[in-house]
Amino acid sequence: MVELVAALDAESVLCFATFRDEIDTAPALRALRRAGRTTLVPVVVDLGLLAVPVEDDTPLSPGARGTPEPPAEHRARAVEPDSIDLVVVPGLAFAPSGVRLGYGGGYYDRFLPLVRPGTVRLGLGYAAQLVETLPGEAHDVLLDAVLTEEGLVVTDAGKARGVPDATRLAPTRARGGEGRSRPDPARAGTARPESAGPRTTRPRTGS
């Protein structure tokens, strides 16, 4: 993810803090801070989200919906959505169209319309979460791209919005075949442990 952020010249990045079996975002967030980027995590407040800055020493603990959040007193430091350059969101599944299957709370669908039109909306997960199609709804906000341990997929919605193709944004994308090297966890989250069967994702409340 660090290479992608650099390619997009994104200074301010909102990214979810890992919950349950989601891809581990902590290494990428630390690497982004070392690169001088502002890192933010979402905090649930009523039916909305706040984008709150975090540092290496910011403690995170389960919030109202069980997702990791900084202490309540940090909410006063929340930034305006239109100041964010890249929003990284979780999901149960992602489709090439840009449709995302969320967790049912609608938090990101309410938050994403508040960011600037040029802000990139990125889904982050495992390759097993990419599916051919997902049913969309009128209130869905489409993603521009999806990043997994296998590389970047620019969605149909992202192409329509002029997001650069995956070759330009992710030149080090892993390719299939024997001897494929493992991705850098700080660049694409933490690689999914190898297993004989498909990965299962447990729904969570909200987001």
> Element (H or E) spanning 159, and its range?
helix 156-160
Q: What is the pLDDT of residue 94?
A: 97
Q: Nearest CA to 129 among 167, 84, 92?
A: 92
**CA 7 to mean position of chain CA atoms:** 16
Measured CA to CA, the distance from residue 90 to residue 33 in angstroms comes to: 20
Average pLDDT per 10 consecutive residues for the chain, totaling 207 residues: 91 95 94 97 94 95 88 95 97 96 91 95 97 89 95 94 69 35 37 33 40
Q: What is the pLDDT of residue 51?
A: 98
Two tokens at 108?
Answer: 């990101």
Q: What is the pLDDT of residue 170?
A: 53
- Residue showing tokens 């995302």: 100
Two tokens at 194?
Answer: 């190898």
pTM of this structure = 0.80
Measured CA to CA, the distance from residue 178 to residue 157 in angstroms comes to: 33
**Dihedral of CA 61/65/71/76: which sign?**
positive
Q: Which amino acid is at 11?
A: E
Q: What is the pLDDT of residue 205?
A: 36
Q: Classify 157 as helix, strand or coil.
A: helix
* Distance linking the first and last C-alpha atoms of the chain: 21
Domains detected in the chain = 2-173 (3.40.50.10420)
Report strand pairing: 12-15 vs 86-89: parallel
Residues 20-31: tens digit of each pLDDT: 889 999 999 999
